[in-house]
Chains A and B, each alone.
Chain A
Amino acid sequence: MACETHLTRVWLILVSNEVERVVTKNNAAPLLEIKHLKTHFFTEDGVVRAVDGVDLQVFPGEVVGLVGESGCGKSVTSLSIMQLISAPGKIVAGEITFEGQNLLELSEKEMMKIRGDRISMIFQQPQTSLNPVFQAGDQVAEVFRIHQKLQDEEAWEQAVELFRMVGIPAPERRAKSYPHEMSGGMAQRVMIAMALALRPNLLVADEPTTALDVTIQAQIIQLIQDLRKEVGAAVILITHDLGVVAEMAERVAVMYAGQIVEMTDVISLFDKTFHPYTQGLIGSIPVLGKVKERLEVIPGSVPNLVDLPPGCRFAPRCRARMEYGLDLCTKVEPQLIEYQPGHQVRCWLYQDTEEYKAPLKDRG
Chain B
Amino acid sequence: MTDKTANLANLDKEGLSLKSVSLWQITWRRLFKRKSALLGLGILIVLVFIALTAQWISPYDPYQVLIGIEDVDMRQAPCIHLLGCPKDQPQHIMGIDGNVRDQFSRLLYGTRLSLMVGLTTVSFAIIIGTILGALSGYFGGWVDNTIMRVMDVLLAFPSLLLAIAIVTVLGPGLINALLAIGIVSIPAYARVVRSSVLSVREMDYVSATRALGGNNFDILFKRIMPNALTPLIVQGTLGIATAILDAAALSFLGLGAQPPTPEWGQMLSAERNQVFTAPHLVFYPGFAIMTTVLAFNLLGDGLRDALDPRLAHTSK
Chain A positions within 8 Å of B, measured between CB atoms, are: 82, 84, 109, 112-117, 120-121, 123, 125, 128-135, 142-143, 146-147, 167, 169-170, 173-174, 176-178, 180-181, 191, 194
A125 surroundings in chain B (CB, below 8 A): 204
- Cα A176 to Cα B20 in complex, Å, equals 7
Residue of chain B at shortest CB distance from A128: B204
Judging by beta carbons under 8 Å apart, are B18 and A170 in contact? yes
- Which residue of the partner chain, among B4, B208, B312, contacts A129 with CB atoms under 8 Å? B208
Judging by beta carbons under 8 Å apart, are B18 and A133 in contact? no
Can you list 22 A-B pairs with a CB-CB distance of less than 8 A?
A: A109-B215, A112-B214, A112-B215, A115-B210, A116-B214, A121-B211, A123-B204, A123-B208, A129-B205, A129-B207, A130-B208, A133-B22, A133-B227, A146-B213, A146-B218, A167-B5, A170-B9, A170-B12, A174-B18, A177-B18, A181-B21, A194-B208
- Most chain-A Cβ atoms within 10 A of its Cβ — which of B5, B209, B226, B312? B209
Judging by beta carbons under 8 Å apart, are B212 and A146 in contact? yes
- Which residue of the partner chain, among A112, A169, A178, contacts B12 with CB atoms under 8 Å? A169
Judging by beta carbons under 8 Å apart, are A178 and B215 in contact? no
Within the complex, the shortest CB–CB distance from A132 to chain B, in Å, comes to 6
Say whether B87 faces chain A, with CB atoms less than 8 Å apart: no
Judging by beta carbons under 8 Å apart, are B211 and A131 in contact? no
Residue of chain A at shortest CB distance from B7: A169
Q: In chain B, residues 186-239, which have Cβ atoms closer than 8 Å to a Cβ of chain A?
A: 203-205, 207-215, 218, 223, 226-227
Within the complex, the shortest CB–CB distance from B288 to chain A, in Å, comes to 37
Within the complex, the shortest CB–CB distance from A101 to chain B, in Å, comes to 16
- Most chain-A Cβ atoms within 10 A of its Cβ — which of B4, B22, B312? B22
Q: How many residues of B contact A (CB 8 A)?
A: 30
Given contacts A146-B218, A170-B12, A170-B18, contact A120 B212 (CB under 8 A): yes
Judging by beta carbons under 8 Å apart, are B23 and A132 in contact? yes
Within the complex, the shortest CB–CB distance from A116 to chain B, in Å, comes to 4
- Cα A133 to Cα B207 in complex, Å, equals 16
Judging by beta carbons under 8 Å apart, are A128 and B211 in contact? no
- Cα A109 to Cα B215 in complex, Å, equals 8
Say whether B310 faces chain A, with CB atoms less than 8 Å apart: no
Q: Give 5 closest A-B pairs by Cβ, nearest first.
A: A169-B8, A116-B212, A116-B213, A115-B213, A128-B204
- Cα A143 to Cα B213 in complex, Å, equals 8
Judging by beta carbons under 8 Å apart, are A178 and B23 in contact? yes
B24 surroundings in chain A (CB, below 8 A): 133
Say whether B313 faces chain A, with CB atoms less than 8 Å apart: yes
- Cα A125 to Cα B205 in complex, Å, equals 9
Judging by beta carbons under 8 Å apart, are A170 and B8 in contact? yes
Judging by beta carbons under 8 Å apart, are A115 and B227 in contact? no
B8-48 CB contact bits vs A (8 Å, 1 = yes)? 11001000001011111000000000000000000000000
B312 surroundings in chain A (CB, below 8 A): 180
Given contacts A123-B208, A131-B223, contact A147 B12 (CB under 8 A): no
B5 surroundings in chain A (CB, below 8 A): 167, 169
- Cα A125 to Cα B1 in complex, Å, equals 24
Judging by beta carbons under 8 Å apart, are B12 and A173 in contact? yes
- Cα A174 to Cα B215 in complex, Å, equals 27
A147 surroundings in chain B (CB, below 8 A): 213
Within the complex, the shortest CB–CB distance from B214 to chain A, in Å, comes to 6
Judging by beta carbons under 8 Å apart, are B20 and A194 in contact? no
B272-301 CB contact bits vs A (8 Å, 1 = yes)? 000000000000000000000000000000
A114 surroundings in chain B (CB, below 8 A): 213
Within the complex, the shortest CB–CB distance from B204 to chain A, in Å, comes to 4
Given contacts A146-B218, A170-B8, A177-B20, contact A134 B210 (CB under 8 A): no
Judging by beta carbons under 8 Å apart, are B208 and A191 in contact? yes
Given contacts A84-B210, A114-B213, A143-B212, contact A133 B8 (CB under 8 A): no
A169 surroundings in chain B (CB, below 8 A): 4-5, 8-9, 12
B12 surroundings in chain A (CB, below 8 A): 169-170, 173
- Cα A181 to Cα B214 in complex, Å, equals 25
- Cα A288 to Cα B211 in complex, Å, equals 39
- Cα A125 to Cα B204 in complex, Å, equals 8
A113 surroundings in chain B (CB, below 8 A): 213
- Cα A113 to Cα B21 in complex, Å, equals 33
Given contacts A128-B204, A169-B12, A170-B12, contact A178 B210 (CB under 8 A): no
11 further contact pairs, Cβ within 8 A, besides A116-B211, A194-B212: A128-B203, A128-B204, A129-B208, A131-B209, A132-B227, A133-B227, A134-B226, A142-B214, A146-B212, A170-B8, A180-B313
